[in-house]
C-alpha cells in the first residue's frame, strides 16, 4: 500500500519519497476502482485550483489547503514518441513570434541504472490543469512521480504536494536539471544518472533557442534560465 489515511485524506507514505515509482492496484487486481484505497491517482482530481494570468503567463494556484503527500493531479496529454517530440519542437522553433508548449519527457531508470524507459507527454493541445504548473528552480511545492498500476504496461505521471501548500500559492515543480553551463545549487538534485537515490528523472523539452529561455520563477534559487535538455 503506497498511501495512508482514509478517503480523500489519503497521503503518500514517507517511505515512497525515495525517487522511485509508486505502485498502485490496477486492472489485474480483484479490487474495484471506488472501494480500493490504493488507486489514488486513478481517481478524479479532488483539489480545488484556479487558473490565473500572471506576469509569467498562465499559472495554477491552490484554492484550498493542500497537505504534504496529497495527490494534486496527473500530468495528462498526448503520449507520443521521441521522434514525434523532436518534430513538434522543430515546428515550434520554425513558427514566427513567441510560442510555448507543454511537452514533458520523463525518464524512468531501471534498477540496474543501465537503461531507462522514456515517456513523452504533450499537453500543449490536449491536457488538464497540470499544463499550467510552472517551473521553479527551487524544486517547487510539487513532486513528480511515475505511477505504475498493476496490469498496465504504460505508467502515468502524477504530482504530489512536497509540503503543506496554502490557499493562494502558485503550484510549481522542477522541470529538470539546469541547462548546460549552469550550476546546480546544493539543495537541488542533478541528473538521475549521477543521483544516488533518484530513479526518476524529470526532463522538460523547451524550445531549442540559440539564446536560453529566461526563467521567471522569482525564487532565491533562480538560475536565470529554464532547463534545456536535448530531445
Most confident residue range from 1-15, 60-74, 117-131, 205-219: 60-74
Tens digits of per-residue pLDDT, 102-145? 888 888 877 666 667 888 999 989 999 999 999 999 999 999 99
What is the reported pLDDT for 228? 67
Percent of the chain with pLDDT over 90: 45
pLDDT above 70 for 198: no
pLDDT above 80 for 1: yes
What is the reported pLDDT for 184? 38
What is the reported pLDDT for 194? 28
What is the reported pLDDT for 136? 92
What is the reported pLDDT for 229? 60
pLDDT above 70 for 207: no
What is the reported pLDDT for 102? 84
Q: Which CATH class is domain 3-204?
A: mainly beta
> Which range (85-99, 109-123, 175-189) has the least confidence?
175-189
> Does 59 or 114 have the greater pLDDT score?
59
What is the reported pLDDT for 133? 95
Burial letters 12-47, b for 16+ CB under 10 A, else e: beeebeebbbbbbbbeeeeeeeeebebbbbbeeeeb
What is the reported pLDDT for 8? 60
Amino acid at each position: 500500500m503506497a498511501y495512508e489515511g482514509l478517503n480523500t485524506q489519503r497521503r503518500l507514505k514517507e517511505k515512497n519519497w525515495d525517487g522511485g515509482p509508486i505502485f498502485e492496484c490496477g486492472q489485474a487486481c480483484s479490487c474495484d476502482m471506488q472501494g480500493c484505497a490504493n488507486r489514488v491517482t486513478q481517481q478524479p482530481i479532488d483539489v480545488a485550483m484556479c487558473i490565473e494570468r500572471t506576469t509569467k503567463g498562465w499559472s495554477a494556484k491552490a484554492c484550498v489547503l493542500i497537505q504534504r503527500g496529497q495527490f494534486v493531479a496527473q500530468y495528462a496529454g498526448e503520449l507520443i514518441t521521441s521522434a514525434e517530440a523532436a518534430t513538434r519542437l522543430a515546428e515550434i522553433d520554425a513558427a514566427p513570434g513567441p510560442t510555448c508548449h507543454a511537452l514533458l519527457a520523463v525518464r524512468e531508470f531501471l534498477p540496474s541504472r543501465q537503461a531507462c524507459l522514456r515517456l513523452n507527454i504533450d499537453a500543449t493541445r490536449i491536457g488538464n490543469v497540470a499544463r499550467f504548473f510552472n517551473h521553479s528552480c527551487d524544486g517547487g511545492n510539487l513532486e513528480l512521480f511515475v505511477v505504475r498500476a498493476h496490469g498496465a504496461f504504460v505508467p502515468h505521471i502524477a504530482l504530489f504536494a512536497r509540503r503543506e501548500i496554502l490557499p493562494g500559492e502558485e503550484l510549481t515543480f522542477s522541470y529538470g536539471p539546469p541547462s548546460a553551463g549552469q550550476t546546480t545549487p546544493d539543495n537541488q538534485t542533478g541528473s538521475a544518472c549521477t543521483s544516488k537515490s533518484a530513479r526518476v528523472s524529470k526532463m522538460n523539452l523547451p524550445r531549442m533557442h540559440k539564446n536560453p529561455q529566461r526563467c521567471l520563477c522569482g525564487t532565491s534559487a533562480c538560475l536565470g534560465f529554464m532547463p534545456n535538455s536535448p530531445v
